[in-house]
């Protein structure tokens, strides 16, 4: 029952928050020459056509990456993110959006590795077509949460994981912390970034999810949230968050500078807001 296709949502405000944070995390890992590994449990296709039928149907990217793309000079802190996008949009018009696998692959170095997991058969085919040419990349068609545990501890031991489910099934709010508990047991020093949506009052599960993450045996937990409009009663995603387990030292600093800027650039109305908080601090 895999109905979710990320092409409808590629480049929206939630992708901007997630991919901006990911590019900053990777920059942090690149500060040392030592190799590192990037694991993506829910990879998607890796690359999306913004002029395609699906992206055009929702037009979500227009209130997301397109707002920043028009003023790239204002975002020196996101130069890595924009550099990767520019490679796929060489004539300056935003036509393609790079998902987390391609963003990470492009920012990693010769000595680093990428492991991508995706369950959907046609998405995994797209992913192989888009990224399979790179010998640093391994692609698995499998359940990413089970795969993560099976692959830990990784070689090299230094690295980061993105857990980015669509949360179409409410069970995923439980499966993610369950998997992280096992993952931390096998690889306590890994950095894990969990993306989650901020949904309408009747459906939001971010508070119980964060409560579970806070109970994990980890060194620290940093959360960054961005809401672009007010919370609705029944439907809609007004924002999203990333929870970073074992965040690098002082990783709140770049986010503290970024979040108010993103909030201003992506706001839909004056209820837009952001939050940055250490839930566990080492
Ligand atoms: C939100 S999208 C991923 C977007 C991607 N991480 C990015 O930032 O570009 C979620 C993806 O997870 C896939 N998926 C759903 N359940 C899965 C599972 N149990 N294991 C691996 N992939 C899964 C979906 O097919 C979908 O492509």
Q: State yes or no: is 15 an active-site residue.
A: no
What's the mean pLDDT in 131-154?
A: 98
Q: Is the pLDDT of residue 66 over 90?
A: yes
For a pocket test of ligand 1, which of 61, 160, 165, 242 has the largest count of ligand atoms closer than 8 A to its C-beta? Answer: 165
The confidence score (pLDDT) of residue 69 equals 96
What is the percentage of the chain residues whose pLDDT exceeds 90?
A: 93
The confidence score (pLDDT) of residue 157 equals 97
What's the pLDDT band for 2 if we cut at 50, 70, 90? Answer: confident
The residue whose C-alpha atom lies closest to atom 19 belonging to ligand 1 is 143
The residue whose C-alpha atom lies closest to atom 13 belonging to ligand 1 is 42
- Ligand 1 close to Cβ of residue 60 (< 6 A): no
What's the pLDDT band for 238 if we cut at 50, 70, 90? Answer: very high
What pLDDT, in 10s, does the model give residues 18-38?
A: 999 999 999 999 999 999 999
For each of the domains in the chain, give its residue range(s) and CATH number, in order of start: 15-46+105-280 (3.40.50.150)
The confidence score (pLDDT) of residue 82 equals 98
The residue whose C-alpha atom lies closest to atom 25 belonging to ligand 1 is 120
Catalytic-labelled residue, pool 80, 164, 171, 252: 164
What's the pLDDT band for 3 if we cut at 50, 70, 90? Answer: confident
What pLDDT, in 10s, does the model give residues 159-191?
A: 999 999 999 998 999 999 999 999 999 999 999
The confidence score (pLDDT) of residue 212 equals 98
Task: Tell me which of 55 and 43 has the higher pLDDT.
Answer: 43
In the predicted model, what is the mean pLDDT of the chain? Answer: 96
The confidence score (pLDDT) of residue 234 equals 85
What's the mean pLDDT in 150-156?
A: 98
What's the mean pLDDT in 87-116?
A: 97
What's the pLDDT band for 233 if we cut at 50, 70, 90? Answer: confident
The confidence score (pLDDT) of residue 232 equals 87
The confidence score (pLDDT) of residue 1 equals 60
Two structure tokens written together for 168: 């179409």
For a pocket test of ligand 1, which of 8, 44, 97, 117 has the largest count of ligand atoms closer than 8 A to its C-beta? Answer: 44
């Amino acid at each position: 029952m895999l109905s979710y296709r990320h092409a409808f949502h590629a480049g929206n405000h939630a992708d901007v928050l997630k991919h901006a944070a990911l590019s900053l995390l990777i920059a942090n890992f690149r500060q040392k020459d030592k190799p590192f590994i990037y694991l993506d449990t829910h990879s998607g296709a890796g690359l999306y056509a913004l002029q395609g039928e699906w992206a055009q149907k929702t037009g979500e990217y227009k209130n997301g990456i397109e707002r920043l793309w028009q003023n790239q000079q204002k975002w020196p802190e996101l130069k890595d993110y924009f550099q990767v996008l520019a490679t796929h949009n060489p004539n300056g018009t935003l036509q393609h959006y790079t998902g987390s696998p391609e963003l990470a692959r492009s920012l990693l170095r010769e000595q680093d590795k990428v492991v991508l997991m995706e369950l959907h058969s046609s998405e995994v085919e797209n992913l192989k077509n888009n990224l399979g040419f790179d010998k640093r990349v391994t692609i698995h068609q499998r359940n990413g949460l089970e795969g993560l545990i099976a692959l830990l501890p990784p070689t090299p031991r230094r690295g980061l994981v993105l857990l980015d489910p669509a949360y179409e099934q409410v069970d995923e709010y439980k499966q993610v912390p369950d998997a992280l508990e096992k993952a931390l047991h096998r690889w306590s020093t890994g950095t894990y970034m969990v993306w989650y949506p901020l949904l309408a009052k009747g459906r939001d599960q971010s508070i119980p999810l964060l409560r579970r993450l806070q109970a994990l045996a980890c060194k620290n937990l940093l959360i960054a949230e961005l809401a672009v409009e007010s919370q609705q009663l029944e439907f809609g995603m007004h924002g999203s968050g990333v929870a970073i387990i074992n965040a690098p030292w002082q990783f709140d600093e770049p986010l503290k500078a970024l979040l108010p800027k993103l909030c201003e650039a992506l706001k839909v109305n004056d209820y837009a807001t952001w939050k940055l908080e250490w839930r566990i601090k080492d």
